[in-house]
Amino acid sequence: MPRPRVVALLAPEGPRLHDPQAPVVAADDAGLTRGDGCFDSALVIPVDAGGDDRQAGDDPGPTHQVVDLPGHLARLAASARALEIPAPDEAAWTELVATALRAWPEPGEATLRLTLTRGPESGGPPRAFVTLTERAAGRPQRGAAATTTRPVRAVTLSRGHPSDAFVDAPWLLGGVKTLSYAVNTAALREARRRGADDVIFTSTDGYALDAPTAGLLVVRDGAVLSTPTGGTGILASTSIGAILAAAEAEGRSARHELVQVADLLTADGVWLVASSRGPTPVGELDGRAVPVDDGLVADVARWAGF
Protein backbone atom coordinates (compact mmCIF):
# COMPACT_ATOMS: atom_id res chain seq x y z
CA MET A 1 0.00 0.00 0.00
CA PRO A 2 1.34 3.49 -0.75
CA ARG A 3 2.44 5.69 2.13
CA PRO A 4 -0.01 8.40 3.26
CA ARG A 5 0.96 11.69 1.62
CA VAL A 6 -1.04 13.88 3.99
CA VAL A 7 -1.80 13.46 7.70
CA ALA A 8 -3.89 16.03 9.60
CA LEU A 9 -4.61 15.94 13.33
CA LEU A 10 -7.35 17.58 15.32
CA ALA A 11 -5.24 19.48 17.87
CA PRO A 12 -6.87 21.36 20.78
CA GLU A 13 -6.47 24.61 18.84
CA GLY A 14 -7.96 23.15 15.66
CA PRO A 15 -6.85 21.07 12.66
CA ARG A 16 -3.18 21.00 11.77
CA LEU A 17 -1.05 19.15 9.25
CA HIS A 18 1.38 16.55 10.61
CA ASP A 19 4.52 15.06 9.08
CA PRO A 20 3.13 11.88 7.42
CA GLN A 21 6.11 9.85 8.60
CA ALA A 22 6.14 11.11 12.18
CA PRO A 23 4.48 9.05 14.93
CA VAL A 24 0.96 10.15 15.91
CA VAL A 25 -0.09 8.28 19.07
CA ALA A 26 1.62 7.58 22.39
CA ALA A 27 2.59 4.12 23.64
CA ASP A 28 -0.43 3.95 25.94
CA ASP A 29 -3.03 5.21 23.46
CA ALA A 30 -5.93 2.75 23.70
CA GLY A 31 -6.23 2.78 19.90
CA LEU A 32 -2.81 1.16 19.80
CA THR A 33 -2.83 -0.92 23.00
CA ARG A 34 -6.36 -2.33 22.55
CA GLY A 35 -7.52 -1.47 19.04
CA ASP A 36 -9.96 0.69 20.97
CA GLY A 37 -11.20 3.24 18.49
CA CYS A 38 -12.95 3.45 15.14
CA PHE A 39 -12.30 4.54 11.61
CA ASP A 40 -13.96 5.13 8.28
CA SER A 41 -12.67 5.24 4.72
CA ALA A 42 -13.95 7.23 1.78
CA LEU A 43 -13.08 7.94 -1.81
CA VAL A 44 -11.58 11.29 -2.80
CA ILE A 45 -12.06 12.44 -6.40
CA PRO A 46 -11.05 15.51 -8.38
CA VAL A 47 -13.61 18.28 -8.52
CA ASP A 48 -14.94 18.40 -12.06
CA ALA A 49 -13.69 21.75 -13.39
CA GLY A 50 -15.87 21.62 -16.47
CA GLY A 51 -18.98 23.77 -16.65
CA ASP A 52 -18.24 26.10 -13.79
CA ASP A 53 -18.55 29.82 -14.18
CA ARG A 54 -15.59 31.00 -12.14
CA GLN A 55 -13.92 34.21 -13.26
CA ALA A 56 -10.19 34.76 -13.46
CA GLY A 57 -9.00 35.94 -10.06
CA ASP A 58 -11.58 33.92 -8.13
CA ASP A 59 -10.31 31.59 -5.41
CA PRO A 60 -9.71 28.40 -7.39
CA GLY A 61 -11.43 26.46 -4.57
CA PRO A 62 -10.77 22.88 -3.61
CA THR A 63 -9.34 20.60 -6.28
CA HIS A 64 -10.71 17.43 -4.67
CA GLN A 65 -13.85 16.33 -2.86
CA VAL A 66 -14.91 13.36 -0.76
CA VAL A 67 -17.69 11.16 -2.10
CA ASP A 68 -20.54 11.20 0.44
CA LEU A 69 -18.53 12.69 3.30
CA PRO A 70 -21.70 13.21 5.39
CA GLY A 71 -22.54 9.51 5.03
CA HIS A 72 -19.08 8.48 6.20
CA LEU A 73 -19.11 10.98 9.08
CA ALA A 74 -22.51 9.65 10.16
CA ARG A 75 -21.17 6.10 10.20
CA LEU A 76 -18.07 7.20 12.11
CA ALA A 77 -20.27 8.99 14.63
CA ALA A 78 -22.34 5.83 15.07
CA SER A 79 -19.15 3.81 15.65
CA ALA A 80 -17.95 6.33 18.23
CA ARG A 81 -21.32 6.25 20.02
CA ALA A 82 -21.22 2.44 20.19
CA LEU A 83 -17.73 2.65 21.69
CA GLU A 84 -18.78 5.52 23.99
CA ILE A 85 -15.90 7.67 22.75
CA PRO A 86 -16.68 11.39 22.88
CA ALA A 87 -16.12 12.32 19.25
CA PRO A 88 -15.52 15.63 17.49
CA ASP A 89 -18.69 16.92 15.85
CA GLU A 90 -19.40 16.88 12.11
CA ALA A 91 -18.18 20.46 11.65
CA ALA A 92 -14.83 19.70 13.30
CA TRP A 93 -14.30 16.59 11.16
CA THR A 94 -15.32 18.47 8.03
CA GLU A 95 -12.78 21.21 8.78
CA LEU A 96 -10.11 18.59 9.49
CA VAL A 97 -10.83 16.88 6.16
CA ALA A 98 -10.76 20.25 4.34
CA THR A 99 -7.34 20.97 5.87
CA ALA A 100 -6.05 17.65 4.56
CA LEU A 101 -7.61 18.10 1.10
CA ARG A 102 -5.97 21.51 0.67
CA ALA A 103 -2.59 19.80 1.16
CA TRP A 104 -3.24 16.93 -1.26
CA PRO A 105 -0.55 17.26 -3.92
CA GLU A 106 -1.74 14.74 -6.51
CA PRO A 107 -4.11 15.20 -9.43
CA GLY A 108 -5.65 11.73 -9.15
CA GLU A 109 -7.96 9.95 -6.76
CA ALA A 110 -7.15 9.24 -3.13
CA THR A 111 -8.42 7.29 -0.16
CA LEU A 112 -9.40 9.29 2.90
CA ARG A 113 -9.15 7.48 6.22
CA LEU A 114 -10.67 9.04 9.33
CA THR A 115 -9.45 7.62 12.65
CA LEU A 116 -10.66 8.19 16.20
CA THR A 117 -8.99 6.55 19.19
CA ARG A 118 -10.08 6.62 22.83
CA GLY A 119 -6.79 8.38 23.64
CA PRO A 120 -4.20 7.62 26.33
CA GLU A 121 -5.15 4.91 28.85
CA SER A 122 -3.65 7.21 31.49
CA GLY A 123 -6.26 9.83 30.62
CA GLY A 124 -6.53 12.57 28.06
CA PRO A 125 -8.73 13.39 25.12
CA PRO A 126 -9.54 11.07 22.22
CA ARG A 127 -7.20 11.32 19.25
CA ALA A 128 -8.69 12.27 15.87
CA PHE A 129 -6.72 12.28 12.65
CA VAL A 130 -7.17 11.76 8.92
CA THR A 131 -4.84 10.48 6.23
CA LEU A 132 -4.87 10.84 2.43
CA THR A 133 -3.24 8.10 0.40
CA GLU A 134 -2.99 7.55 -3.33
CA ARG A 135 -5.32 4.84 -4.50
CA ALA A 136 -3.41 1.63 -5.13
CA ALA A 137 -2.45 1.02 -8.75
CA GLY A 138 -4.83 -1.22 -10.61
CA ARG A 139 -7.94 -0.10 -8.76
CA PRO A 140 -10.65 1.20 -11.07
CA GLN A 141 -10.80 4.98 -11.13
CA ARG A 142 -14.28 6.37 -10.86
CA GLY A 143 -15.71 6.96 -14.32
CA ALA A 144 -13.45 4.36 -15.94
CA ALA A 145 -15.19 1.43 -17.60
CA ALA A 146 -16.17 -0.87 -14.75
CA THR A 147 -15.95 -3.90 -16.98
CA THR A 148 -12.17 -3.59 -16.91
CA THR A 149 -12.28 -4.82 -13.30
CA ARG A 150 -10.85 -8.31 -13.15
CA PRO A 151 -13.15 -10.68 -11.22
CA VAL A 152 -11.51 -11.87 -8.00
CA ARG A 153 -11.06 -15.33 -6.58
CA ALA A 154 -12.53 -15.62 -3.09
CA VAL A 155 -12.56 -18.32 -0.44
CA THR A 156 -15.15 -18.82 2.28
CA LEU A 157 -13.89 -18.66 5.86
CA SER A 158 -15.98 -19.08 9.00
CA ARG A 159 -16.37 -16.07 11.26
CA GLY A 160 -16.97 -18.55 14.10
CA HIS A 161 -20.41 -17.31 15.13
CA PRO A 162 -24.02 -17.91 14.11
CA SER A 163 -25.81 -15.27 12.01
CA ASP A 164 -27.75 -13.97 15.04
CA ALA A 165 -24.82 -13.77 17.50
CA PHE A 166 -24.98 -9.99 17.82
CA VAL A 167 -28.65 -9.72 18.80
CA ASP A 168 -28.85 -8.00 22.23
CA ALA A 169 -25.05 -8.18 22.62
CA PRO A 170 -23.79 -4.63 22.03
CA TRP A 171 -20.45 -5.41 23.73
CA LEU A 172 -19.59 -7.59 20.71
CA LEU A 173 -19.51 -4.32 18.72
CA GLY A 174 -21.39 -5.67 15.73
CA GLY A 175 -21.64 -3.09 12.98
CA VAL A 176 -18.92 -0.96 14.54
CA LYS A 177 -15.94 -0.14 12.35
CA THR A 178 -13.37 -0.57 15.12
CA LEU A 179 -9.59 -0.50 14.94
CA SER A 180 -9.66 -4.17 16.06
CA TYR A 181 -9.26 -5.72 12.63
CA ALA A 182 -6.57 -8.34 13.24
CA VAL A 183 -8.93 -11.20 12.28
CA ASN A 184 -9.80 -9.40 9.05
CA THR A 185 -6.15 -9.13 8.03
CA ALA A 186 -5.43 -12.72 9.15
CA ALA A 187 -8.31 -13.92 6.94
CA LEU A 188 -6.83 -12.08 3.95
CA ARG A 189 -3.47 -13.80 4.60
CA GLU A 190 -5.29 -17.16 4.70
CA ALA A 191 -6.91 -16.34 1.35
CA ARG A 192 -3.53 -15.63 -0.24
CA ARG A 193 -2.18 -18.87 1.24
CA ARG A 194 -5.01 -20.65 -0.60
CA GLY A 195 -4.17 -18.87 -3.86
CA ALA A 196 -7.15 -16.51 -3.67
CA ASP A 197 -7.53 -12.74 -3.56
CA ASP A 198 -10.23 -12.20 -0.99
CA VAL A 199 -12.57 -13.77 1.56
CA ILE A 200 -16.29 -14.16 2.03
CA PHE A 201 -16.90 -14.68 5.74
CA THR A 202 -19.58 -17.22 6.66
CA SER A 203 -21.69 -17.82 9.75
CA THR A 204 -21.73 -21.17 11.54
CA ASP A 205 -25.33 -21.62 10.30
CA GLY A 206 -24.27 -21.45 6.68
CA TYR A 207 -24.87 -17.87 5.55
CA ALA A 208 -22.58 -15.56 3.61
CA LEU A 209 -21.82 -12.45 5.70
CA ASP A 210 -19.32 -9.98 4.26
CA ALA A 211 -15.64 -9.65 3.38
CA PRO A 212 -12.74 -8.49 5.57
CA THR A 213 -12.71 -5.00 4.07
CA ALA A 214 -15.86 -4.97 1.92
CA GLY A 215 -19.55 -5.61 2.00
CA LEU A 216 -21.26 -8.38 0.03
CA LEU A 217 -23.72 -7.86 -2.79
CA VAL A 218 -25.58 -10.71 -4.49
CA VAL A 219 -27.91 -10.51 -7.47
CA ARG A 220 -30.19 -13.54 -7.48
CA ASP A 221 -33.24 -14.16 -9.65
CA GLY A 222 -32.89 -10.53 -10.64
CA ALA A 223 -33.16 -9.23 -7.08
CA VAL A 224 -30.32 -7.18 -5.60
CA LEU A 225 -29.49 -8.49 -2.11
CA SER A 226 -27.09 -7.62 0.66
CA THR A 227 -26.54 -9.02 4.15
CA PRO A 228 -28.77 -7.54 6.88
CA THR A 229 -26.95 -5.57 9.55
CA GLY A 230 -27.90 -5.88 13.22
CA GLY A 231 -27.78 -9.44 14.54
CA THR A 232 -25.25 -10.54 11.93
CA GLY A 233 -22.68 -8.09 13.28
CA ILE A 234 -21.72 -6.88 9.80
CA LEU A 235 -20.95 -3.27 9.02
CA ALA A 236 -23.46 -1.06 7.28
CA SER A 237 -21.90 -0.11 3.93
CA THR A 238 -22.50 3.37 2.56
CA SER A 239 -21.76 2.08 -0.96
CA ILE A 240 -24.17 -0.82 -0.69
CA GLY A 241 -26.85 1.55 0.55
CA ALA A 242 -26.27 3.64 -2.58
CA ILE A 243 -26.35 0.58 -4.84
CA LEU A 244 -29.61 -0.75 -3.38
CA ALA A 245 -31.24 2.68 -3.73
CA ALA A 246 -30.10 3.08 -7.33
CA ALA A 247 -31.15 -0.46 -8.27
CA GLU A 248 -34.56 0.11 -6.73
CA ALA A 249 -34.89 3.38 -8.65
CA GLU A 250 -34.38 1.36 -11.85
CA GLY A 251 -37.22 -0.95 -10.86
CA ARG A 252 -35.20 -3.81 -9.37
CA SER A 253 -36.21 -5.56 -6.20
CA ALA A 254 -33.45 -4.54 -3.77
CA ARG A 255 -33.31 -5.60 -0.10
CA HIS A 256 -31.25 -6.86 2.82
CA GLU A 257 -31.58 -10.63 2.99
CA LEU A 258 -29.30 -13.45 4.15
CA VAL A 259 -28.05 -15.71 1.37
CA GLN A 260 -26.86 -19.27 1.96
CA VAL A 261 -23.25 -19.86 0.93
CA ALA A 262 -24.31 -22.61 -1.48
CA ASP A 263 -26.60 -20.18 -3.30
CA LEU A 264 -23.69 -17.89 -4.20
CA LEU A 265 -22.57 -20.34 -6.88
CA THR A 266 -25.89 -20.17 -8.71
CA ALA A 267 -26.50 -16.45 -8.23
CA ASP A 268 -26.68 -14.07 -11.20
CA GLY A 269 -23.55 -12.47 -9.75
CA VAL A 270 -21.64 -11.75 -6.54
CA TRP A 271 -19.69 -8.57 -5.68
CA LEU A 272 -17.43 -7.29 -2.92
CA VAL A 273 -18.19 -3.63 -2.37
CA ALA A 274 -16.04 -1.01 -0.65
CA SER A 275 -16.21 2.73 -1.17
CA SER A 276 -12.48 2.99 -1.70
CA ARG A 277 -12.41 0.48 -4.54
CA GLY A 278 -15.90 0.22 -5.98
CA PRO A 279 -17.79 -3.03 -6.63
CA THR A 280 -15.56 -5.95 -7.56
CA PRO A 281 -17.17 -9.04 -9.11
CA VAL A 282 -16.34 -12.44 -7.64
CA GLY A 283 -15.46 -14.90 -10.42
CA GLU A 284 -14.46 -17.88 -8.34
CA LEU A 285 -15.39 -19.12 -4.87
CA ASP A 286 -13.42 -21.90 -3.19
CA GLY A 287 -12.15 -22.88 -6.63
CA ARG A 288 -15.60 -23.08 -8.27
CA ALA A 289 -16.82 -20.64 -10.90
CA VAL A 290 -19.29 -17.91 -9.99
CA PRO A 291 -21.26 -16.41 -12.89
CA VAL A 292 -19.93 -13.06 -14.14
CA ASP A 293 -22.36 -11.32 -16.52
CA ASP A 294 -20.80 -8.29 -18.21
CA GLY A 295 -24.11 -6.48 -18.52
CA LEU A 296 -24.87 -6.96 -14.86
CA VAL A 297 -21.31 -5.93 -13.91
CA ALA A 298 -21.87 -2.68 -15.78
CA ASP A 299 -25.25 -2.21 -14.05
CA VAL A 300 -23.75 -2.65 -10.59
CA ALA A 301 -20.89 -0.28 -11.38
CA ARG A 302 -23.40 2.31 -12.57
CA TRP A 303 -25.55 1.87 -9.45
CA ALA A 304 -22.41 2.40 -7.37
CA GLY A 305 -21.57 5.56 -9.30
CA PHE A 306 -18.42 4.06 -10.81
Q: Which residues bind a copy of itself (CB under 8 A)?
A: 1-4, 7, 18, 20-37, 39, 83-84, 113, 115, 117, 120-123, 129, 131, 133, 157-162, 165-166, 169-173, 176, 178-187, 189-190, 204, 233
| CB 5, min distance to a copy of itself, A | 10
The SS3 assignment for 41 reads strand
Closer CB to a copy of itself, 186 or 265, in the complex: 186
Closer CB to a copy of itself, 173 or 296, in the complex: 173
CB 118 within 8 Å of CB 49: no
CA–CA separation, 184 and 188 (whole Å): 6
| CB 80, min distance to a copy of itself, A | 12
Residue type, 29: D
CB 112 within 8 Å of CB 43: yes
> Between vectors from CA 236 to CA 141 and to CA 9, what angle results, nearest 5°?
70
Residues facing residue 9 across a β-bridge: 16, 129
Closer CB to a copy of itself, 23 or 51, in the complex: 23
CA–CA separation, 286 and 153 (whole Å): 8
CA torsion 270-267-238-31 (nearest 10°) is -60
| CB 194, min distance to a copy of itself, A | 11
CB 197 within 8 Å of CB 191: yes
CB 216 within 8 Å of CB 290: no
| CB 277, min distance to a copy of itself, A | 15
Closer CB to a copy of itself, 20 or 241, in the complex: 20
| CB 26, min distance to a copy of itself, A | 6
Closer CB to a copy of itself, 6 or 218, in the complex: 6
Closer CB to a copy of itself, 166 or 271, in the complex: 166
| CB 133, min distance to a copy of itself, A | 8
